[in-house]
Structure 1
Amino acid sequence: MSIKSLSWGTVLFVSLASGLGTTVQAAETVTAPVKVKVFAASMFEIGKNTGDRAGEFQHWYERYWKDSEPVAVKGALNPVYCDGDGVCGSVLGMGKVSSSASMQAILLDPNLDFSQAYFIISGVAGTPPARGTIGEVNWGSWVVDYDLGHRWAPEEGEPGAPTFMPRKGYEAVRLFRLNPDLVTWAMRLTADTPLKDSDAARAYRQRYPQEAARRAPFVGAGTHMTGDTFFHGPGMSEQAQYIAKLYGADDYVITEMEAAAITLVIKRLHGDDRVMSLRGAVNYDQGNPNETTLQHLDPAPGQTAGGFAETVENVAAVGSRMVDHIVGNWDTWQAGVPAPSK
């Protein structure tokens, strides 16, 4: 299917030969919407979609949409691209507001049929050094909103006590357990994906004493914490873990800025049984024992983690395995997530 067919319906004007006293009528034919099988969402791209330094979208674009034409969607930050197999994607924008606004606009576009679509929310992220490493790729088992609640300064509460309390009334919008069968499939299909690493990332890991932080890149799963606040430091990391456990989720392993908001939009329109959150870790959520939180948040030149280029490539490599399996076995997947075999 040509992506040009996604444009507004072609209007055909039928006129009779001159001399015939018949009224000229117009007939309109509307092209059927594209049946989306998988939608891959990224949050930002650094420059162009191909040929320069890659951000979150470029490797996806080069794999699936290099020969596709962009289709503008009213209300979305960036165009949508689709290939002939029903794989579509777009750059939604960073943060909860921008990304969810773009997602809703795309879902409501009449040229796209999402009734049986699977969604991969993909991008880069941070990870606590006790649980993750630079270059790893992680599937979300739960998505939790970090921001919804009450917070106060530590000195204004009991010494050592939590400084967060959930706000009542937000239970249905702050916590999402992603389909366990879908997470199981994702891990089975992608756990052995070869991941790239870099010398800079290897050297940077050695600044941390935690065993997990020193690991080579791997594919894992756990709770993704969504916050517009780019929280940083061991205290904030402990609070994120506290919130995850308070809500009954798995261990907090990824900090990102969009997944909870995007999941809510998809859930309200199509349900969340087919939603996946996929993130690659490009930074630790705190400094090593020899630096302050502010030093880690604003590192000197040459003191960053490294591994960004390899991580965005790893995310697309892992995610595309899932996409290709779903599309290649569409007869099995179109009606819903098949039960994983024992």
Structure 2
Amino acid sequence: MSLFSRCRGAALSALLLFGLTGSLQAAEPIKVKVFVGSMFEIGKNTGDRAGEFQHWYERYWQTAEPITVKGALNPVYCNADGVCGSVLGMGKVSSSASMQAILLNPQLDLSQAYFLVTGVAGTPPARGTIGEVNWATWVVDYDLGHRWAPEEGKPGEPTFMPRKGYEAVRLFPMNPALVSWAMRLTADTPLKDSDSARAYRKRYPQEAAQRAPFVGTGTHMTGDTFFHGPGMSAQAQYIAKLYGADDYVITEMEAAAITLVIKRLQGSDRVMSLRGAVNFDQGNPNETTLQHLDPKPGETAGGFAETVENVELVGSRMVDHIVGHWDQWKDGVPALPAQ
């Protein structure tokens, strides 16, 4: 081999090595400060009727390029400030599968991230109202036990018994310091309301049901079943109290499963569950549960558009505070300042 050929080969090798090194440097993972997970979007991410993700997308990721993650239902979007988000899918299996794929993806460094699980939900009329936004103090799995028909047990007794062996995967306390921060930063958020939601609330005699939208806290009950009726609502409250959690105020389908995935991979101290109520978990005194499940045209609860906006209005205050004060938050939830 001639000297020229050896030199040319060495030069090509150096260029290839430089190119490879440059590629590795360019592929350094994105440092995520806050990850926002929604469960569904109705259509596009912007420009049409908003589902759970659209207001978040329009606030943080209008110019972001989608990041494809193998195993996740939808792409992840990130902005220059380290705020990332995605539509994870509805139900425990789909949402948690997406979350695990995202956590394990080498393009993203979520080791210091705060996780905000967001979406719409139901609420019992004795404790919540249409349009409210609620931070979880506890997340509880509605399943993982035994159930039977009421007529097959003793009259008036519970029809659910928890199954042993699931103690570590059915009950998740949210970090109380994080919840306190959330309420400190968001409790006074001005919330949207609508004439249709106001009219719908009047069908219910409960004082809580007739309230205007507010920001509150309580237990979020995760179940794949859209349970309805006063009996199922009472059972959800029974489970919450049986496990030592706060009053049940939100019914949803994903938070317990997502929290479990995050907890196993890096702990759950930085997980938040935020939900907006778009329906009551039971009918009013003048309708049966089946009538409530299958309402006549024009008889559905109003306020969906306002509620999905409310969730983002509340949640973004928390996101922006964490990102804006990252030096105080990166190593863990800081102590609350004195009142």
Could you state the TM-score of these two structures normalised by the residue count of structure 2?
Answer: 0.95
**Offset from partner CA, 1:239-266 (integer Å, 9 cap, x none):** 0000000000000000000000000000
Which residue is 1:34 aligned to? Answer: 30
**Aligned pair partner of 1:166 in 162, 165, 182:** 162
> Which runs of structure 2 are paired with 1:6-25 in the superposition (5 Å)?
20-23=7-10, 24-25=12-13
1:200 aligns with 2:187: no
1:284 aligns with 2:271: no
1:78 aligns with 2:74: yes
Instruction: Give the unaligned 5+ runs of structure 1.
Output: 1-16
- Identity, in percent, stands at 83
> Which runs of structure 2 are paired with 1:218-237 in the superposition (5 Å)?
218-237=214-233
Which residue is 1:259 aligned to? Answer: 255
Q: Give 1:341 deviation, angstroms.
A: 2.9
Which secondary structure does the structure 2 equivalent of 1:279 belong to?
Answer: strand
1:335 aligns with 2:331: yes
Q: Which amino acid aligns with 1:20?
A: C
Instruction: Give the unaligned 5+ runs of structure 2.
Output: none
Tell me, in whole angstroms, the C-alpha distance in 1 between the residues paired with 2:127 and 2:321.
Answer: 28
Residue correspondences, number: 326
Which residue is 1:106 aligned to? Answer: 102
Tell me, in whole angstroms, the C-alpha distance in 1 between the residues paired with 2:246 and 2:314.
Answer: 21
Which residue is 1:57 aligned to? Answer: 53
Q: Which amino acid aligns with 1:188?
A: R
Q: Which amino acid aligns with 1:212?
A: A
Moved over 4 A (4+): none
Q: Give 1:32 deviation, angstroms.
A: 1.2
Which residue is 2:174 aligned to? Answer: 178
1:128 aligns with 2:124: yes
Tell me, in whole angstroms, the C-alpha distance in 1 between the residues paired with 2:187 and 2:222.
Answer: 24
Q: Which amino acid aligns with 1:150?
A: H
Which secondary structure does the structure 2 equivalent of 1:46 belong to?
Answer: coil
Tell me, in whole angstroms, the C-alpha distance in 1 between the residues paired with 2:323 and 2:106.
Answer: 22
Which residue is 2:65 aligned to? Answer: 69
Which secondary structure does the structure 1 equivalent of 2:99 belong to?
Answer: helix
Q: Which amino acid aligns with 1:165?
A: M
Tell me, in whole angstroms, the C-alpha distance in 2 between the residues paired with 1:21 and 1:199.
Answer: 76
Tell me, in whole angstroms, the C-alpha distance in 2 between the residues paired with 1:312 and 1:164.
Answer: 33
Instruction: Say if 1:32 and 1:290 are closer, same or farther in 2 by CA, change over 3 A.
Output: same
Which residue is 1:311 aligned to? Answer: 307
Which secondary structure does the structure 1 equivalent of 2:228 belong to?
Answer: coil
Taking only aligned residues, the RMSD between alpha carbons, in angstroms, comes to 1.0
Tell me, in whole angstroms, the C-alpha distance in 1 between the residues paired with 2:72 and 2:38.
Answer: 13
Greater helix share, structure number: 2
Q: Which amino acid aligns with 1:293?
A: T
